[in-house]
A = this chain, B = another copy of it.
Amino acid sequence: MDKQPELCRVDDALNILVGKWKPIILLTLLQQGTKRFSELKRSVPGITQKMLTNQLRELEKEDIITRKVYAQVPPKVEYSITEYGKSLEPILVAMHDWGTAHNLHKKNIISN
């Protein structure tokens, strides 16, 4: 049942990153800083309100992002990466770099 202690350490990071919209949400917040709910919705084309809320809540639970509510009408809520969340950036960068190379790999296969 248990995995090797050394090996399963990767699963913690993976579980946090996994979610249809989490990577793009995190990258948006990392690159563009604090954003309102509606701004995020615009920054992530195709996402529904339900899913945006859902993914944000999960990231918040993991202490990767923070949620700041302004008591006003109309409502205003801002989301930001936590310091802890910023520690995920090297992983996202590694994946982004790999993704770029992956694209080239696929093109090479096709061209052969």
Contact = CB atoms under 8 A, between A and B. Distances in A.
Contacts of A10: 23-24, 27, 92, 95-96, 99
Nearest to A106: B12
Contacts of A1: 45-46
Interface residues of A, number: 40
Interface of A is mostly: helix
Nearest to A102: B12
Interface in A88-102: 88, 90-92, 94-96, 98-102
Number of copies: 2
Given A18-B18, A84-B105, A91-B94, A99 B3 contact: no
Contacts of A92: 10
A88 to B, nearest CB: 7
Contacts of A99: 8-13
Given A3-B44, A14-B23, A23-B14, A87 B94 contact: no
